[in-house]
Amino acid sequence: MIEVHELAIGYDGHAVQSKLTFEIPQGELVAILGGSGCGKTTLLRTLVGLLPVISGSMRVAGSNNPANDMGQPPFGVMFQMGALFSSMTLEQNVSLPLEAWTDLDKDTILEIARAKLALVGLDGQGGLSPAEISGGMNKRAAIARAMALDPPLLFLDEPSAGLDPSTSAGLDELIISLREGLGTTIVLVTHELDSILHLNARCLMLDAEAGTLIADGFPGELQGDSTHPAVNAFFRREMRAKT
């Protein structure tokens, strides 16, 4: 689903991460981890085509350059703050991609939008506006919008950030059920350790100091076997010694 080779990413030609090489097969749940400012969101924004590649190559859901592909995007994206349109209700937010990319009639679109909202636990809340709901509900609605077109690939940017443990656990369950039920490939950016352990996602760990990928594996493997101090510090919730 995603192939990345010797990729350098960053802003205005300045690389924050380089020599990134990994593959994500279809149906896998992958967490991009790392400390604050290491370039997790930059990688996600590059993968979805919002930032240009500095060097190297990538292939995301069959596209070499998603930014230049003008058609229906082969993935859905949930942004960190939800990015729901405040002038629209939740139903209208979820309906938007269906209206843009399908010829379905309005009633069918509305019905699908309601079902998507019910799927993320927002049954009967479709008439509310984003300003009227909590942060957790905002993120759920943003996931429903990202899933509107049933994309085979979902990108989630910090789905648990800023949420209480119970809401965060609920969101994790949703992610697991989406992957298991729909077979969706899910790439999420996070630094919530509890969430990573609960999801048992394959972890791609970035490090700001190394400027590249420092670990690739499942939490169980990385917790016990890694020799990299940053990986150990992350999984043991320790302060990392300055090198």
User: Quick one: 16 or 118, whose CB is closer to other proteins?
Assistant: 118
User: Quick one: 50 or 118, whose CB is closer to other proteins?
Assistant: 118
With CA atoms as reference, report the closest residue to 98 among 89, 81, 111: 111
Query: How would DSSP label each residue in 91-125?
Result: HHHHHHHHHHH----HHHHHHHHHHHHHHTT-TT-
User: Quick one: 101 or 218, whose CB is closer to other proteins?
Assistant: 101
Distance CA 174, CA 143 (A): 10
Q: How far is the CB of 77 from other proteins (least distance, A)?
A: 17
User: Quick one: 13 or 181, whose CB is closer to other proteins?
Assistant: 181
CB 142 within 8 A of CB 79: yes
Which residues sit at the interface with other proteins, rule CB under 8 A?
86-87, 98, 102-105, 107-108, 111-112, 114-116, 118-119, 121, 123-124, 127, 129-131, 147, 149-150, 177-178, 180-183
Distance CA 15, CA 23 (A): 21
Q: How far is the CB of 196 from other proteins (least distance, A)?
A: 23
User: Quick one: 21 or 129, whose CB is closer to other proteins?
Assistant: 129
Distance CA 8, CA 1 (A): 19
Distance CA 83, CA 205 (A): 26
Separation of CA 72 from chain center:
18
Separation of CA 125 from chain center:
24
Q: How far is the CB of 126 from other proteins (least distance, A)?
A: 9
Q: How far is the CB of 88 from other proteins (least distance, A)?
A: 9
User: Quick one: 79 or 235, whose CB is closer to other proteins?
Assistant: 79
Q: How far is the CB of 112 from other proteins (least distance, A)?
A: 5
Give start and end residues of each alpha helix (H) in 10-105.
Answer: 40-47, 90-101
Phi-psi region of 125 (alpha: psi -120 to 50; beta: other; left: phi over 0): alpha
Q: How far is the CB of 96 from other proteins (least distance, A)?
A: 14
Q: How far is the CB of 1 from other proteins (least distance, A)?
A: 17
User: Quick one: 77 or 98, whose CB is closer to other proteins?
Assistant: 98
